[in-house]
Homo-oligomer: A and B are copies of this chain.
Amino acid sequence: MRETSEIDHLQALARLIRYFCINATSTAHSGHLTSSLSATDLMTALVFGGTFRFKVNEPDHPNNDRLIFSKGHASPLFYSLWAAAGAITEQELLTYRRFGSRLEGHPTPRLPYVEAATGSLGQGLGIGLGMALNAKCLDRLPYRTYVLLGDSEMSEGSQWEAMELAAYYRLPNLIGIIDVNRLGQRGQTMYGHDVDAYARRVSAFGWETITIDGHDMAQALEAFRQAAAEQSRPVMIVARTIKGKGISFLEDKDGWHGKALDDDQWKQALREFSGVDRDIRGTIAAPDDRRPQHAVAQPADAASYDMGTPVATRKAYGAALKRLHAQFPQLVSLDAEVSNSTMAEMFAKAEPERFFEMFVAEQNMVEVALGLSRRGKLPFVSTFAAFFTRAFDQIRMSQYSGANLKFVGSHAGVSIGEDGPSQMALEDIAMFRSILMSTVLHPCDAVSTEKLVEASAAHDGIVYLRTMRQDTPVIYGNDESFRIGGSKLLRHTASDRLTVVAAGATVHEALEAHDRLQREGISVRVIDAYCIKPIDAAALRESADATGAIVTVEDHYPAGGLGDAVLQALADRPVPVSILAVRKTPMSGSGDELRDFEGISASAIVEAVKRACN
């Protein structure tokens, strides 16, 4: 009896939620109505069926269950669910997709119920994995993370990265729901309504699978109960659904993806919802009021290096991470199976419980890091700098979640030598500079690296720090300070004829060029632009005014790197700038040979200075 009335209530709620979806999208004249309708019953059963636990008036509660719509285009459903929970008014629902509304076309955390911005497909499961990992391994809380997945997006490789890692880390607190509605944007998906095709693959990847009719409320309730009882493996509910379910003329019809109803169709649809009860609301079960115990920040040891000693900046990174954990107790480290190259292994050995091996799966690594960041952690994410290009979409998307993420890429530029171009990061500065609010750092020695890792940890936002494979001599004293937005004027006299701006490996080339030029009676300034974004515009302007011409030199391709950053800083107060950068396709060779070949060595700088001075 109770079961029947519970199902009746849930069905009435689902009816109301569909009604909300119709009105929101029809008012907006756009939005993904049919993709919302297919998952309405599933999500109603989840959110209001008792297994989902969430304090509606405290969306940040650390023990709330998490709900992520990886199929972010089903945002009308997401918003309508929270409206049915009483958290959003029916009136606000009608602002959907309007300029300034919290209810954007795809969910973003402008609305506090949104755990992370989605809308680029195939990212929600990895983000959820980060949150589940946090619950199990860090905060040690019993909350569960639910991820609604579209069938179309299951073709993204990133899904299978999340799948394999969730099984590897044995996370029964991660529950996916695939909404198999058969239709993608332009026709049938790869497997259509073959739910077994999904279940077979998911099961082979080590997940528990439950296959159901996604419009049968009793089956959905039972599936969620079963999932919640699972103790050892992540669970995937594979649900056969009908796209457009609930509106007779939309059901299972091609050509309706991302389309709203016109006014006549809207009226026609509403006729199928006569008698909908607009006053009912659903109740969400409350979680236990448990909160994580956090370690208290302690001062970190001081770093110490001897001037002139050759130390690879990647090693200084590993040392800094290990050293700074006391000061930043939320710090965690993730690496894509190259921790013995990025030197994240120095941290991993000291703090094995706060290091997560993400194997060779960079997309998922960034997704997991975002999930951890959204649960208050401070993730440092490392791999070869070149391989962050693998996760550019995830990095791009993380900015819309207000991510606090630190990306550390090793093996910068042609200086890595013999391994050849596939391993050389030559577009990484351009990539990270392009992210709107990012910070881009490229220190040239161990001391500045240590200090800038600390500055990165203290800075809230997306930071990229570029390290080098090869040893470079320590050029700064241990008490030198470095800040985001800063630079160092390394050489200057009153008679400088030009300013050389360098970063990373090329700082050492610039210093060598300075000395050679000095011997020929030519004085130049040398600036270490260790912070490429935001670049130290004031210092550059001062030097531009003083010396009248600039040479920039970088171990990176010419577009989007240090040269472009310097040009922007001087755009309103221009002086002639020569950009030395990697302009020929590199190959294997020694770092010295390659810097010479590419015209970014001390000799090339000497020549460029002489050209510019004549």
Chain A positions near chain B (C-beta within 8 angstroms): 28, 30-31, 72, 97-101, 104-106, 108, 110, 117-122, 152-153, 155-161, 164, 168, 184-186, 189-190, 200-201, 203-205, 337-341, 345, 359-361, 363-364, 386-387, 389-390, 392-393, 395-397, 399-400, 418-423, 426-427, 430-431, 433-437, 533, 557-561, 563-565, 567-568, 570-579, 582-583, 585, 587-590, 593-594, 597
Give the docked Cα–Cα distance between A129 and B31 (Å): 35
Answer whether A579 and B568 are a contact pair too, CB < 8 Å, given A120-B390, A423-B119: yes
B-side contacts of A158, CB under 8 Å: 157
B-side contacts of A339, CB under 8 Å: 186
B-side contacts of A164, CB under 8 Å: 155, 190
Give the docked Cα–Cα distance between A503 and B106 (Å): 27
Beyond known contacts A30-B418, A201-B201, A386-B396: 13 more, CB 8 A cutoff: A101-B588, A119-B422, A120-B423, A156-B361, A157-B159, A389-B396, A392-B431, A433-B560, A533-B559, A559-B564, A559-B568, A560-B560, A564-B564
Contact A567 B560 (CB under 8 A): no
Give the docked Cα–Cα distance between A533 and B564 (Å): 14
Contact A99 B588 (CB under 8 A): yes
B-side contacts of A364, CB under 8 Å: 157
B-side contacts of A101, CB under 8 Å: 588
Contact A585 B105 (CB under 8 A): no
Contact A576 B573 (CB under 8 A): yes
Contact B157 A361 (CB under 8 A): yes
B-side contacts of A72, CB under 8 Å: 422
Contact A423 B155 (CB under 8 A): no
Residue ID in chain B nearest A202 by CB atoms: B204
Among B386, B393, B587, point to the contact of A99 (Cβ < 8 A): B587
B-side contacts of A577, CB under 8 Å: 571-572, 574
Give the docked Cα–Cα distance between A423 and B582 (Å): 32
Among B184, B418, B431, B561, point to the contact of A431 (Cβ < 8 A): B431
Chain B nearest CB from A610 CB (Å) reads: 15
Give the docked Cα–Cα distance between A155 and B206 (Å): 14
Give the docked Cα–Cα distance between A105 and B424 (Å): 12
Answer whether A437 and B585 are a contact pair too, CB < 8 Å, given A161-B156, A533-B559: yes
Give the docked Cα–Cα distance between A359 and B108 (Å): 25
Contact A338 B186 (CB under 8 A): yes
Chain B nearest CB from A609 CB (Å) reads: 14
Residue ID in chain B nearest A255 by CB atoms: B340
Chain B nearest CB from A16 CB (Å) reads: 24
Contact A421 B337 (CB under 8 A): no
Chain B nearest CB from A402 CB (Å) reads: 9
Contact A152 B568 (CB under 8 A): no
Contact B430 A434 (CB under 8 A): yes
B-side contacts of A563, CB under 8 Å: 568, 571
B-side contacts of A576, CB under 8 Å: 571-574
Contact A99 B396 (CB under 8 A): no
Please list the 3 inter-chain residue pairs (A to B) with the smallest Cβ-Cβ separation, ordered nearest first.
A157-B157, A119-B422, A574-B574
Give the docked Cα–Cα distance between A570 and B590 (Å): 34
Contact A433 B431 (CB under 8 A): no
Chain B nearest CB from A387 CB (Å) reads: 7
Give the docked Cα–Cα distance between A37 and B180 (Å): 45
B-side contacts of A30, CB under 8 Å: 418-419
Contact B205 A201 (CB under 8 A): yes
Among B157, B393, B419, point to the contact of A161 (Cβ < 8 A): B157
B-side contacts of A337, CB under 8 Å: 152, 155, 184-186
Give the docked Cα–Cα distance between A190 and B170 (Å): 13
Chain B nearest CB from A356 CB (Å) reads: 13
Chain B nearest CB from A464 CB (Å) reads: 12
B-side contacts of A397, CB under 8 Å: 422
Contact B422 A185 (CB under 8 A): no
Give the docked Cα–Cα distance between A426 and B585 (Å): 27
Contact A420 B104 (CB under 8 A): yes
Chain B nearest CB from A566 CB (Å) reads: 9
Answer whether A420 and B106 are a contact pair too, CB < 8 Å, given A153-B360, A201-B204, A341-B185: yes
